[in-house]
């Protein structure tokens, strides 16, 4: 009788073996469609639509078409109106979402940087890799994100020094001017990044 009776530990072990041998239930078509569909931010369809929407937005920005309507964006992106509004509330939100994502990725890259030249190198490399956005905004003379990116490395640039707001403001405009020359006249040439990094690293804060 003792030999024929399993302990609770034996039953769990036996049950576990049976479960391991059982085939996993197949994912339903509805579940698969939702996972890959246009409303799931991690789905391929959603991500493909997001890229198309942003490309169209950049084209509109580069033409200084600031009054662009959502209809023009989603038509150019070849997506439907519901797909566009599943991504963004409106055109302005589309731009803000894009810039927020870009800055978040940039901050991750510079989070452990302590040297000024390395910070500038990472920034210019990041700009070159995302040149579609920066080319569009540069043509529109919009340096909003670029200025924020410089602010993000302010502790590295200033160090322990005491800099006035006026001095820092002048420094930012000089840095933006140098980066703008690289973007506009050298077409984001990555082979020139080192040269421009040296120019940026040579900038000094003016006592003002």
User: pLDDT by residue (tens digit) across 156-196?
Assistant: 999 887 899 999 999 999 999 999 999 999 999 999 999 99
**Are residues 74 and 156 located together in one domain of the fold?**
no
d(CA 43, CA 37): 6
For residue 154, being part of any structural domain is answered with: yes
Cβ(146)–Cβ(105) below 8 Å: no
Nearest of 175, 157, 163, 176 to residue 116 by alpha carbon = 157
d(CA 51, CA 60): 14
Structural domain for 131, as ranges: 95-208
**Are residues 200 and 122 located together in one domain of the fold?**
yes
Which of 88, 113, 129 is the last residue before a domain boundary?
88
Read off the pLDDT of each residue in 7-16 and give the average, rounded to a whole number. 38
**Are residues 111 and 193 located together in one domain of the fold?**
yes
Residue 35 pLDDT exceeds 80: no
Residue 107 pLDDT exceeds 60: yes
**Are residues 67 and 170 located together in one domain of the fold?**
no
Which of 36, 65, 88 is the last residue before a domain boundary?
88
Q: Report how many domains make up the chain.
A: 2
**Are residues 195 and 101 located together in one domain of the fold?**
yes
Which of 39, 63, 88 is the last residue before a domain boundary?
88
Dihedral of the alpha carbons of 18, 19, 22, 25, in degrees to the nearest 10: 160
pLDDT for 87? 86
Residue 27 pLDDT exceeds 60: no
Cβ(193)–Cβ(124) below 8 Å: yes
Read off the pLDDT of each residue in 58-76 and give the average, rounded to a whole number. 72
d(CA 125, CA 188): 9
**82-93 pLDDT, tens digit each:** 888 888 888 888
For residue 83, being part of any structural domain is answered with: yes
**Are residues 81 and 183 located together in one domain of the fold?**
no
For residue 103, being part of any structural domain is answered with: yes
**Are residues 125 and 196 located together in one domain of the fold?**
yes
**Are residues 70 and 112 located together in one domain of the fold?**
no
Rg (CA), the chain: 26
**Are residues 74 and 128 located together in one domain of the fold?**
no
**Are residues 105 and 175 located together in one domain of the fold?**
yes
**Are residues 180 and 122 located together in one domain of the fold?**
yes
Exposure letters 149-164 (e unless 16+ CB within 10 A, then b): bbebbeebbeeeeebe
For residue 162, being part of any structural domain is answered with: yes
**Are residues 33 and 105 located together in one domain of the fold?**
no
């Amino acid at each position: 009788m003792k030999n024929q009776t399993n302990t609770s530990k034996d039953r769990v072990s036996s049950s576990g073996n049976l479960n391991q041998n059982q085939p996993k239930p197949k994912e339903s078509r509805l579940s698969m469609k939702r996972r890959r569909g246009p409303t799931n931010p991690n789905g391929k369809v959603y991500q493909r639509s997001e890229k198309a929407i942003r490309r169209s937005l950049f084209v509109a920005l580069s033409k200084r078409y600031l009054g662009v309507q959502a209809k023009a964006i989603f038509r150019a992106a070849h997506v439907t109106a519901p797909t566009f509004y599943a991504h963004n509330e409106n055109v302005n939100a589309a731009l803000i979402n894009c810039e927020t994502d870009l800055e978040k990725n940039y901050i991750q890259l510079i989070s452990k940087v302590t040297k000024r030249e390395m910070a500038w190198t990472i920034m210019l490399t990041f700009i070159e890799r995302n040149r579609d956005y920066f080319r569009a905004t540069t043509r529109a003379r919009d340096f909003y994100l670029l200025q924020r990116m410089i602010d993000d490395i302010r502790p590295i640039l200033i160090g322990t020094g005491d800099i006035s707001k006026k001095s820092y403001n002048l420094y930012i405009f000089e840095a933006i001017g140098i980066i703008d020359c690289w973007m506009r006249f050298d077409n984001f040439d990555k082979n020139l990044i080192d040269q421009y990094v040296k120019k940026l690293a040579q900038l000094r804060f003016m006592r003002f």
